[in-house]
Structure 1
Amino acid sequence: MKKTILAALAMVLMTFTGNAQAPDYISDGALLDGKTIVKADVMGLGLRNFSFSAERVINKNLSINLGIRFMPEGGIPGLSLIEKQIGDVEGIFLADTKINSFAFTPELRIYLGKYGYGRGFYIAPYYNYFGFNLSNLKVEYEVKNALGQKETENVILDGGIKTHSGGLMFGYQWLVGAKKNIVIDWGIFGVHAGKSTGELNGLSSRTLTTDEQETVKETIDDNLSKVPFFKFTSTVNAKDVKIEEKGPWGFIRGSLSIGFRF
């Protein structure tokens, strides 16, 4: 029995330590040793998302992939769709809001098909860090002046949210071309879950009375309750507004990248 178990363990270790002979195309025609791949994701370009990754093949079944994604500061992409999803956001104005983001995703790829060496179907457990910053988020509210007339005042909010998650990706990677140096990587489906924390801070354009503080808080709370995925709490004082976010976080992933094998 012990010999049988040891033999089985030996077979598993041989599978994951790269004792199998690599195909000739891995090194033939490659600029380096043929085990380094760089890629760019084309799916997010329409949303001002730029994503790049580098993959290093360890052996037939294993590789390490490191990805970064960033969005330069600018308006909120797909704002009309977001406003449609949230619905009426009376008192909160997103048109002039600026946003930027950064994500970092290391993953361990396990190739399960007959090809391997960065080719074929893979399962990839991964860690994902994602952070984004908002600026110039305007919240307007009405107050009465000394003559009893209504006036519109505002609070400008700035801040950001950071998330830490773990997940699993399923995908397929092709090596094409005469020398198998052109890479097409399809991240079919991935899902991750974790936690998020964040804070937005702002100053009121005037000193608020107690009643006005309640009005501002109600405006903020009513509208933030419509935002999916996040859970917010707000604090409003005479001059300061603070919005905190803390709770679970989850999201899905997908990608289509094109690259080159060196």
Structure 2
Amino acid sequence: MMKSQLMKYRSLLLVTCFAMLAFQPAIAQNMEEDNHSNIIKLNLTSLPLKNISLQYERILSKKFAAALSFRTMPKSTLPFKNAFANSIGDGDADIEAAIRMLKVSNIAITPEFRWYVGKKGYGRGFYIAPFYRYSHYQVSDIVVNYETTLSGPGSVSLSGDLNTHTGGLLFGAQWLLGKRIMLDWWILGPHYGAGNGSFSGVSSRPLNALEQNEVRNELENYDIPLTNKKVTVNSSGAVVDLSGPWGGVRAGISVGMDSATALMEGPLGNVREW
């Protein structure tokens, strides 16, 4: 049921965004041509998190705009991995070491539809924006250590993908600084949906029954709240399948340029002196 509702929400949002873009010339008939704007922005607050996040916003009318964001993180260790390991590991040295070693990369695509509620409009002031987000994560070097009396220590390294689909509502505000620079503040954007992933690893040697049990216990000890986890272990290695709810919060500060203002002179430049 959750998946069905999420798919309906995603489809409705995408259709709305693209419909507004398709019929934008008709909307523009009631506007001054100089009020059209294309804004390219960089999310500054994502950089310390090892993410590069860009957004394109198209002003459709005084009150409405459509935007598309793209985020990517090259393969790397987790940002602030030590703090994360200490908080999640809960004193378990093996779990803390595994968190510090694992590698992550991701991409995310986020279409949104903005409603500027203030008097100024045209990409300025407070806005409310329903959005959909698709994220794809690649995770590698999830090391699971095990040890038995007969065969001694060993390890299995897991890797895999995680995909998430969420929808949410962003509250923000945007200002024009001078003639060309835009400042966009994502105040709060909670989003919720579902995710699923699969991670597998092959052992360097065939696992006997005792070793399989040790690996299974280690994987079961990874506590992921509100997530359905299925652990499969055999003589070749292990597979972990995850599914369940997924959520997050969008927040940040972006700086960009009104490309129409930057590339054109004359009447448009005068209009943009807000």
Matches within 5 A, 1:43-122: 43-86=45-88, 87-92=90-95, 93-122=98-127
Summarize deviations over 1:58-87 as a string: whole Å, max 9, x none. Answer: 000110010001101111211112112212
In the alignment, which residue of structure 1 is the partner of 2:137? 132
Residue pairs, 1:205-224, within 5 angstroms: 205-222=204-221, 224=222
TM-score under structure 1 length normalisation: 0.82
Offset, 1:21: 5.0
Query: Does the 8 Å contact 2:67/2:111 carry over to 1?
Result: yes
C-alpha displacement at 1:128, in angstroms?
A: 0.3
| Equivalent AA in structure 2 for residue 221 of structure 1 | E
Q: Residue 202 in 1 paired to residue 201 in 2?
A: yes
2:82 and 2:100 in contact (8 A); partners too:
no
AA partner of residue 71 (structure 1): M
Give, in whole Å, the separation in 2 of the partners of 1:158 and 1:182: 42
Between 163-172 and 210-219, the greater mean CA deviation after superposition: 210-219
Distance verdict in 2 for CA 1:72–1:44, change over 3 Å: same
- The residue identity in structure 2 corresponding to 1:172 is A
Higher helix share: 2
Distance across 2 between alignment mates of 1:233 and 1:90: 24
2:206 partner SS:
coil
Where does residue 252 of structure 1 map in the other structure? 249
Contact 1:91 1:141 (8 Å CA) reproduced: no
CA distance in 2 between partners of 1:255 and 1:228 (Å):
26
**If you compute each CA radius of gyration, which structure gives the higher value, 1 or 2?**
1
Partner of 2:78, secondary structure, is coil
Deviation readout 1:146-166 (Å, 9 max, x if unpaired): xxxx61100010102110011
Structure 1: 4+ residue segments shifted above 6 A:
none
Deviation at 1:232, TM superposition (A): 2.5
Q: Residue 184 of structure 2 aligns with which residue?
A: 185
8 Å contact from structure 2 (residues 109, 135) kept in 1: yes
Percent identical residues: 36
- SS of alignment partner, residue 95 of structure 1: helix
Instruction: Note the alpha carbon deviations across 1:100-131, whole angstroms, 9 max, x for none.
Output: 11010000000000011111110000000111
CA change 1:56–1:129 in 2 (3 A) is: same
State the distance in 1 between where 2:127 and 2:104 align: 33
Distance 2:80 2:100 in 1: 11
Q: Report SS of the residue matched to 1:85.
A: helix
